[in-house]
Amino acid sequence: MREAKLFCLPFIWGEIVLKFYDVDNNYVKYLQSHDKQIPNILYSSNNKFVCGIVLTVNDCDYYAPISSSTQLYRTSYPIKDSNGIIIATIRFCFMFPVPLDLLTEKDFSLIRQYDSAYADLLLKEWSDCKSNEAAILTKAQSVYKIGCNKSHKFNYTCCDFSFLELKMKEYIVQNQEKNMVEDDNEEQATAVS
């Protein structure tokens, strides 16, 4: 089996690498149909979102879900408030590759218009992630190695990262073909008019 090209994005002082995103629900459903470890993202109040890019492997950009759970696991990373209290975690065992066009960056000012308390919480979480980018990127790489090592004792907790990379690429191809057919149909309809 070919060895994965694994690297973390460089930490660039003064430049924000990590951001928070919402992921297209249809894409998440597609991945869930192939890997039961992919988390649900739709909730009655605030949907689950991801932090990224935490890792780039084999031309796939990985994003990790943020969880309101404050329980720490070997494959998670604590997000703390300014007093050092854990307020959330990044769940790297559930990270997955996402094409850029299926992401929507969180707009804190828009969120503030309808829920200022939630916007404040997101800003606290993002501020901590921003301050700990290097550690977060390193943790993502470490967990990726666990998820790719079938004999590791915590492998069962992780998504099947290599398989998800293939599924992401298949999804891209399927949607490109679908879009080409739709474009052809539109051109034919326009030519008939």
Whether 143 is in a domain gets the answer yes
pTM (predicted TM-score): 0.85
Q: State how far the Cα of 38 lies from the Cα of 158, in Å rounded to an integer.
A: 9
Per the structure block, which two tokens stand in for 140? 């993502």
Q: What's the number of domains the chain is made of?
A: 1
CA triple 117-122-125, angle to 5 deg: 130
**Per-position pLDDT tens, the chain of length 193:** 445 555 544 444 445 579 999 999 999 999 999 999 999 998 878 889 999 999 999 999 999 999 999 999 999 999 999 999 999 999 999 999 999 999 999 999 999 999 999 999 999 999 999 999 999 999 999 999 999 999 999 999 999 999 999 999 999 999 887 766 655 555 555 555 5
Question: CB within 8 A of 17, min separation 6: which ones?
Answer: 9, 10, 11, 53, 133, 137
Contact 67, 113 (CB under 8 A): no
Contact 89, 79 (CB under 8 A): yes
Whether 139 is in a domain gets the answer yes
Bridge partner residues of 7 (DSSP): 56
Whether 119 is in a domain gets the answer yes
Whether 1 is in a domain gets the answer no
Secondary structure tally for the chain: helices H, strands E: 5, 8
**Which residues form the domain of 28?**
6-192
Whether 60 is in a domain gets the answer yes
Residue 64 φ then ψ, to 5°? -115, 135
Whether 83 is in a domain gets the answer yes
* pLDDT tens digits, one per residue of 121-141: 999 999 999 999 999 999 999
**CATH number of 18's domain:** 3.10.129.130
